[in-house]
């Protein structure tokens, strides 16, 4: 393993699978309709979980930033609708990553970070 076996704080292992978990900032939780984001990463392999969670973390940080500072993100979408949209998007991204993995696709960005994969 290229990194230590320590599990990053946003990764949680439940049973044999890893999950991404992120607390939503208090100023945004009411708009998103939930206090935390949780999604299964559908893997029991730590390196895969790290890779998947990094991609999800990138989206989540961008979402938080835009919702906090971008006027175009101020929509009439209710918190309940936003919650559904965020959960669907996260599940879709995990499925896409899983499909790419099954095709033995290697993302050049992550391959350069983790040579030998």
Which two tokens mark 41? 């990463």
**Cβ-Cβ contacts under 8 Å for 76 (sequence gap 6 or more):** none
Taking the whole predicted model, whether its pTM rises above 0.75 is answered as no
Model confidence band, residue 116 (pLDDT cutoffs 50, 70, 90) = low
| pLDDT of res. 106 | 56
| pLDDT of res. 90 | 86
More confident of the two residues 19 and 71: 19
Model confidence band, residue 110 (pLDDT cutoffs 50, 70, 90) = low
71 class by beta-carbon count within 10 Å (0-12 exposed, 13-18 middle, 19+ buried): exposed
| pLDDT of res. 95 | 86
**pLDDT tens-digit series, residues 23-48:** 998 888 888 889 999 999 989 999 98
**pLDDT tens-digit series, residues 69-102:** 666 666 678 889 888 888 888 888 888 888 877 7
């Amino acid at each position: 393993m290229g990194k230590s076996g320590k599990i990053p704080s946003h990764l949680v292992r439940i049973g044999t699978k890893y999950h991404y978990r992120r607390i939503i900032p208090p100023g945004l939780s009411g708009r998103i309709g939930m206090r935390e984001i949780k999604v299964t990463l559908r893997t029991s392999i730590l390196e895969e979980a790290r890779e998947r969670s990094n991609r999800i973390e990138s989206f989540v940080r961008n979402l938080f930033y835009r919702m906090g500072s971008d006027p175009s993100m101020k929509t009439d979408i209710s918190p309940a609708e936003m919650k559904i949209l965020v959960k669907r998007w996260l599940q879709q991204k995990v499925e896409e990553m899983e499909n790419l993995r099954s095709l033995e696709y290697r993302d050049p960005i992550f391959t350069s970070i983790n040579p030998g994969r």
